[in-house]
Amino acid sequence: MRCTRALIYGENIRSNILEIKKLLNPSTKLCCAVKADGYGNSASIAAKIAVECGAEFLAIATVQEGIELQENGINANFILLSPCSPEEFTEVAAHNIIPVLFDEEMISTFDDVSKKFRKNKKHGVFLAIDTGMGRIGCLPEEASNLAKKINSSNNISLMGVITHFAVSDSISDENKEYTERQFKAFTSALNSIKSEGIDPGICSCSASAAAIANPEMQLDMIRPGIILYGYYPDEITQNYLESKGIHLNLRPAMQLETKIAAIRRFKAGESISYGRTWETTSETDIAVLPIGYADGLLRRLSPGLKVTINGKLYPVVGRICMDQCMVDIGINNHDVKRWDTAIIFGPKEGGALTDAADLAKMTSTIPYEIMTSITKRVPRILANA
């Protein structure tokens, strides 16, 4: 087993889901986002825990993600949130994955494909409405006609209607108002579908931010993502939620760690790594870590990144390489020795002094990118297993 690894604290995922469920209306269903390998936290680990905690649906972004989870024994309703090609529709139908459709061509194509796979009932689909995200979905005024087309089809039926908010993770007045406009557009589209005598099925508009900060927008189902894995969605911070009387205690799930492969002594004035961007100002010891940007430790994190070694922070110096990086541990540091663990980020209970949100702030990005950047060559290991 490689010493560079991502420990996944499954009990933290479980705790986060139970925290979320405390804030749900009794009738609101849970669709846990396990796409992008569970935001880097291992889709199979996250999916298993989510189902155990009562999630009725799991959200995926590619057909292959759903197939792999099914092959790993995960029995759930998989909603494919991203569009796929007509060639992929065969796999969608064969594996009973729920697609999200939003135009006549997609509806007709999937209706034809589903014909040879349907058994005793029609294949359920979701209708996507673009209320202001500008990504996928029909216009709100097109919703009722497309819902009619789905329900008049021979092999598919309307299971639900979905939309996605663009700025629900912002607390500015302007963006709050925009989210309200999206919500009103969505409810108006739902009413137009109902006016045609069609049951819209499961209505869902809220991912992590709106589901928690705007309880009235939970509707029939929420689709939490980042909060499953222990991070708050942008400006919807723990302090902000507490100010609104909403209590949500999240615990990061992933710990990225490695071990010190070597400790080398350098004299003053010697350079470290590519580009000679950093030089020693005095004699010092440099710890070499076998982790680099090919593992997802973003090159732009240097300079500035600090790693935790035995309860103290030490700076990464010089440029992060493809497979390695270097840390200044100071001269004759008896607290650090070869093969000690170096934690890049993680939860406090794992000994980390920084988390993915801290790394995200360094590079003006979000924890989502930090975690999903961790590549497949880094093994995901269930902590305390």
User: Would the CA dihedral through 203, 205, 210, 216 be positive or negative?
Assistant: negative
Instruction: Respond yes or no: is residue 35 known to be catalytic.
Output: yes
Instruction: Respond yes or no: is residue 232 known to be catalytic.
Output: no
Q: How far apart are CA 329 and CA 317, in angstroms?
A: 10
Among the listed residues 116, 194, 274, 337, the single catalytic one is 274
Among the listed residues 9, 29, 35, 259, the single catalytic one is 35
The 3-class SS string of the chain reads CCCCEEEECHHHHHHHHHHHHHCCCCCCEEEEECHHHHHCCCHHHHHHHHHHCCCCEEEECCHHHHHHHHHCCCCCEEEECCCCCHHHHHHHHHCCCEEEECCHHHHHHHHHHHCCCCCCCCEEEEEEECCCCCCCCECHHHHHHHHHHHHCCCCEEEEEEECCCCCCCCCCHHHHHHHHHHHHHHHHHHHHHHHCCCCCCEEECECHHHHHHCHHHCCCEECCCHHHHCCCCCCCCHHHHHHCCCCCCCCCCEEEEEECCEEEEECCCCEECHHHCEECCCCEEEEEECCCHHHCCCHHHCCCCEEEECCEEEEEECCCCCCCEEEECCCCCCCCCCCCEEEEECCHHHCCCCCHHHHHHHCCCCHHHHHHCCCCCCCEEECCC
In degrees and rounded to multiples of 5, residue 103 shows phi and psi of -150, 170
Calculate the CA dihedral of residues 111, 113, 115, 121 and round it to 10 degrees: -60
Residue 40's CB: how many other CB atoms inside 10 A? Answer: 27
Indicate which residues carry an active-site annotation: 35, 274
